[in-house]
Structure 1
Amino acid sequence: MNINSFNDISNTVGYSGLTLSLEEIVILRNSLIILQKENHFLNIFLWGKLLGIAKDYYISFGYRNDALHGQTYFYSTDGFVWDLLPKPNMRSRLLTPLCVSRLQGDPALVVDVYEQYANTKPFGTEVFKDHGRYFKELKEEDRLSSLVEMYNEDALIKPRGALFKRADGVVIENKVYEGLSIQDAREIKSYMHWRRPHQRWNTNLLTRYDYNYALDFLDTIDKDIPKTSWTLHIEHGTIAILRSLYWPGMTFYQKINNSEHGSLYIGYGKRNLDIPHMLHNWG
């Protein structure tokens, strides 16, 4: 969520029932403005809040030139002081999905994932066979970076037209973006993943009658599996609200016929892997 949208947070992502307190909004807004100036970011966003036992983690990111490939992430436990979030490594990517405990709120804490997983999963120790101690312990700071990466792959989104790919390949925010019409806002394919595309470049070309490569270079969320992993509602005919079933606590909003949009995640950093079972029961 852009810091300029903080004042209206209760009327946007607040529809999910999860929001930030007035004190948090004031603190985060002021500290992020400072962080943006110190790093010479063109724009800065509040990614969300990961709930821990002792302390919570606030996550933010900004970019200088490229809105897609140039993002830099930070974390804070108090909303004042921001530390650079390291990029995920092979070990953290492997072990983070196996962590069953909640985040503690201590970036320096090292947990024994081997012991956690073996005690809760049948034959869990086989996952770590022949990997040695290197693949058994995980620092919470590294776990944090992998959780952010996992979330971004699944649930960080932008509306169609909000990002523009220049001829030189640099992705920028579209200054003439005027929002989605009520008809487009009701369509799942009007929303795209804000990360490097996984689909072939011509995927949208073959499915959209109004294809424009400068706007349609990202994967649309209607290609996600299962297709019903997203919920979309139009509230009062003025705002579209999307939620991800994979990441409970994720809320995205787009004001109808307005350029304002954004998303916020407030949760425990747990991915919901029971979606097929849930959808089967609902069906």
Structure 2
Amino acid sequence: MDSNSLCCSLDLVAGSGYTLSVEHRAALQTSFAILKKNYKFNRVLFWGKLLGLNGDYFIAQGNEGDEMKNKKTFYSFNCVEWHLLGPATDAMIEAVSKAARGRFMGDPSHVYECRRQGEGGGATKEEDVPVSNTMQVTEEIRLAVTVHQIDEEVSVVPRGAFIKNPQGLVQTNRSFEGLSHTEAQKLDNFFHFTEPKNLKKKSVHEMADLDPSIDFLNPLSDDIPKGCWSLQFECGSNVCVIRSLWWLGLTFFHVPVTPRHGYIYMGDGSKNVDLPFML
């Protein structure tokens, strides 16, 4: 969610039980202004909070030109001092999937270890495994991968909030005035804010209603399994709230007939892999 309207936005998702203390809100307002100036960002966004056993990670993101690409991600323990997270690579994602288990510890230097698969596949005692056959991943790498995965899978924007110009640059649509109440009731009008993958082919009649400058993303309605999103109206039916059932803790909000929208994640960084069996 945009740092310029952070306090108001947090109040709109408070129905999920996600909020910040007055001290943290005040610290974020000050530190975000400094972060934006030092890195010359167009916008600074509060991404959310990852809960750890011994400490929590506050996450922020900044972008320079393109709203979708080349985002810089930062983490902090006190909402004042921010540390840059490196981008997640395919090798990092694979390593985290094999080595990282359980809750976040709250220590970026914490090391997760797992044994590599041997050629024989036989079970051996842990103390007999050579160091060269173990895989190590720091929690800082795991943090970067988790933020990347959540962004890739469940970041949400309303249709028309962003436009793509002929040069391929994605920017905020200044003429966006929000979805109507009727439009906000349909998942078709909410998109994944990430590079589109396998855009579903539309019929001739559907193509006539599409605008290539705003319909360049995957709609939530195409997600599998059906029912992995929960759409509700709260605050006297004045706010549309969408929650992900894959990543419990991801909450998106949009105030119809206004440009106000955003999402926040507050959780332990675990994906609900049992969802297909729960629906």
TM-score, structure 2 as length reference:
0.89
2:92 is aligned to 92
CA-CA distance at 1:8 after TM superposition: 1.4
1:241 is aligned to 241
| Matched position secondary structure for 1:84 | strand
1:129 is aligned to none
CA-CA distance at 1:207 after TM superposition: 4.0
| Matched position secondary structure for 1:136 | strand
The answer to whether the 8 A contact 1:204-1:216 is kept is no
1:196 is aligned to 195
Counterpart CA distance in 2 for 1:263 and 1:254 is 9
Counterpart amino acid of residue 166 in structure 1: N
Using a 3 Å threshold, how does the CA distance of structure 1 residues 58 and 208 change in structure 2: closer, same or farther? Answer: farther
CA-CA distance at 1:10 after TM superposition: 4.5
Question: Which stretch of structure 1 is more off in the superposition, 6-15 or 241-250?
Answer: 6-15
1:152 is aligned to 151
**RMSD of Structure 2 on Structure 1 (CA):** 2.3
CA-CA distance at 1:208 after TM superposition: 5.5
1:108 is aligned to 109
| Matched position secondary structure for 1:148 | helix
Using a 3 Å threshold, how does the CA distance of structure 1 residues 278 and 68 change in structure 2: closer, same or farther? Answer: same
Counterpart CA distance in 2 for 1:255 and 1:113 is 46
Unmatched 5+ stretches in structure 2: 125-130
2:33 is aligned to 33
1:78 is aligned to 78
Using a 3 Å threshold, how does the CA distance of structure 1 residues 223 and 23 change in structure 2: closer, same or farther? Answer: same
Aligned ranges 1:207-246 → 2 under 5 Å: 207=206, 209-235=208-234, 236-246=236-246
The answer to whether the 8 A contact 2:6-2:46 is kept is no
2:169 is aligned to 170
Counterpart amino acid of residue 151 in structure 1: I
CA-CA distance at 1:71 after TM superposition: 1.2
Counterpart CA distance in 1 for 2:133 and 2:196 is 32
The answer to whether the 8 A contact 1:95-1:113 is kept is no
| Matched position secondary structure for 1:227 | coil
1:45 is aligned to 45
Using a 3 Å threshold, how does the CA distance of structure 1 residues 252 and 133 change in structure 2: closer, same or farther? Answer: farther
Using a 3 Å threshold, how does the CA distance of structure 1 residues 205 and 171 change in structure 2: closer, same or farther? Answer: farther
Counterpart CA distance in 2 for 1:206 and 1:91 is 43
| Matched position secondary structure for 1:49 | strand
CA-CA distance at 1:134 after TM superposition: 7.3
CA-CA distance at 1:156 after TM superposition: 0.8
1:16 is aligned to 16
Counterpart CA distance in 2 for 1:203 and 1:244 is 25
Unmatched 5+ stretches in structure 1: 126-131
Counterpart CA distance in 1 for 2:83 and 2:202 is 38
Counterpart CA distance in 1 for 2:193 and 2:215 is 12
May I ask how many residue pairs the two structures share in their alignment? 267
Counterpart CA distance in 2 for 1:49 and 1:134 is 34
Counterpart amino acid of residue 103 in structure 1: F
Counterpart CA distance in 2 for 1:153 and 1:268 is 17
| Matched position secondary structure for 2:106 | coil
Identity level (%): 33
Counterpart CA distance in 1 for 2:204 and 2:146 is 32
CA-CA distance at 1:205 after TM superposition: 7.5
Using a 3 Å threshold, how does the CA distance of structure 1 residues 92 and 66 change in structure 2: closer, same or farther? Answer: same
Counterpart amino acid of residue 25 in structure 1: R
Counterpart CA distance in 2 for 1:124 and 1:171 is 51
CA-CA distance at 1:77 after TM superposition: 1.6
2:128 is aligned to none
Counterpart CA distance in 2 for 1:70 and 1:86 is 11
Greater Cα radius of gyration, structure 1 or 2: 2
- Give a deviation string over 1:211-239, Cα, whole Å, max 9, x none: 00000001111111112100000122211
1:60 is aligned to 60
